[in-house]
Amino acid sequence: MNLAIRDIRYNLGRFLLTGLGLGLLIAVVMSMAGIYRGLVIEATTIFNAAGADLWVVQKDTRGPFAESSRIPEDLYRTLAVIPGVAAAAPVSYQNLQVEHAGRPLRLYVVGHRPGGLGGHGPLASGRPIGQKRYEAVADESAGLLIGESLELGRNRYTVVGLTRQMVSSGGDPALFVSLVDAQELQFKKSNEALRNDRERIEASLRDLTRRAPAVARQVTATVEAITQSTHIANAVLIRLEPGADPRDAAGRIEAWKHHTVLTAAEQEQILTRFVIEKARRQLGLFTAILLVISTVIVALIIYTLTIDKIREIATLKLIGAPGLVVVKLIMQQSLALGAIAFAVGGLLIHSLYDRFPRRVVLLPADHLALLAIVAGICVLASLLGIRRALAVDPIQALGG
């Protein structure tokens, strides 16, 4: 005879309410795990869509996601001819906040050569960028519509396609534009800055202007061209030929000692272990605290339920029930409470997860792991009640 189930059946409302309360807590734990998974996936979506085997970045940096990296755009031409390299393409990444439709809009602008590496992959709707300038592909989470016009910097861009769940590690929706547009957004100086630069150069060359005006004009023009150039990229992506050894190709590039080369695995590790490390640890700690709170709450509930049944437990012991009958009653109730809470939490989070501002990824493996943890918590939490129940003197069943 299963006493725990019969007690639950008799006190169903009370049990369900308790399970509901605990379920809310479990839902938060589930959401934490989902947010963590989402964080990892979001951090790697743009990286994965880029489809690169090697990432060439500024020397001694871990760019372009973890830190700033600037390299010449035309480097890709040199890299493309290295043995084992199938394709090379410059890319740029930039966070941007603009005003759109009267509200602030944060975007992660990805500049790439349309059709080349570093793009967006399959679209949810619309078409890829078809012209060299002023077209954009936005992520759905930006809230932009196909055909909508968006002002970025000095120019207006038309949204021609939409991606799904393509965001930065910070959760900002991606906006794919041509590399030229992205370079202009990132590196082109304002008119005021250009005038200031020009005056600074001319001031520096004042002596030369007096002594050799023609040379000074040529030098000024050259320096201006260099300082105003937007032909800069944040990284050059490389796809290797089938069978090519990434370490071998990376070694050849690094031998020039001008750049750092990261393999896809290294770049992924930087994204998942370093870029989101603090957020990951924060979520982990919060989840651990919630699990401890859940354990304490279950323990208190089970202890209270046990105290409520002291007379029944004493009666059972008096009529000769072995200790195991009492242990099973308490532990099974605790496990049942955990099961109810898990089901409530699961239902709740599965009906709400898509309303979170950032991606929440619910994996069956995580749910199974949490189920095992909840079961462990319930067993642990029931120990207090079991200890109390086993200490009950059967004589308590007698008297008034």
Partner 1 sequence: MPAVRFDGLTKIYGSGDTAVVGIQDAAMSVERGELVAIIGPSGSGKSTLLTTIGLVTEPTAGRIEIDGEAVYDGRWVGPDRKLIRRRKIGFIFQHHNLIPFLTVAENVQVALDINGVRGRAAAARIRDLLGYLQIDHRAASYPARISGGERQRVAIARALANDPLLILADEPTASLDTERGKSVMEHLRRLARERGSAVIVVTHDERMIAGFDRVGRVQDGRLLVSPAAAAA
Which residues sit at the interface with partner 1, rule CB under 8 A? Answer: 1, 3, 6-7, 9-11, 311-312, 315-322, 325, 394-395, 397-400
Q: Are the CB atoms for 179 and 74 separated by under 8 Å? A: no
Residue with tokens 């880029």: 50
Instruction: Report CA 54 to chain centroid distance, whole Å.
Output: 22
CB of 379 to partner 1, least distance (A): 22
Q: Which residues contact 100 (CB under 8 A, 6 or more apart)?
A: 144, 150, 151
Nearer to partner 1, 380 or 398 (CB): 398
CB of 315 to partner 1, least distance (A): 4
Nearer to partner 1, 130 or 399 (CB): 399
Residue with tokens 């029930």: 321
CB of 327 to partner 1, least distance (A): 14
CA dist 185 to 63, 93, 230, 233, Å?
19, 10, 9, 12
Residue 64 DSSP class? T
CA dist 244 to 62, 236, 240, 250, 364, Å?
23, 18, 6, 11, 36
CB of 337 to partner 1, least distance (A): 15
Q: Are the CB atoms for 52 and 249 separated by under 8 Å? A: no
Residue 142 DSSP class? G
Nearer to partner 1, 243 or 400 (CB): 400
Residue 58 β-bridge partners: 259
Q: Are the CB atoms for 29 and 344 separated by under 8 Å? A: no
Nearer to partner 1, 88 or 305 (CB): 305
CB of 331 to partner 1, least distance (A): 17
Q: Choose among 88, 93, 156, 158: nearest CA to 120.
A: 93
- Phi then psi for residue 142, to 5 deg, are -75, -15
Nearer to partner 1, 49 or 316 (CB): 316
CB of 10 to partner 1, least distance (A): 4
Cis peptide before 64 (omega within 30 of 0): yes
CB of 360 to partner 1, least distance (A): 39
Q: Are the CB atoms for 326 and 369 separated by under 8 Å? A: no
Write down how long the chain is: 400
Nearer to partner 1, 291 or 305 (CB): 305
Nearer to partner 1, 180 or 325 (CB): 325
Residue 240 β-bridge partners: 85
Nearer to partner 1, 82 or 325 (CB): 325
Nearer to partner 1, 220 or 315 (CB): 315
CB of 24 to partner 1, least distance (A): 26
CB of 340 to partner 1, least distance (A): 17
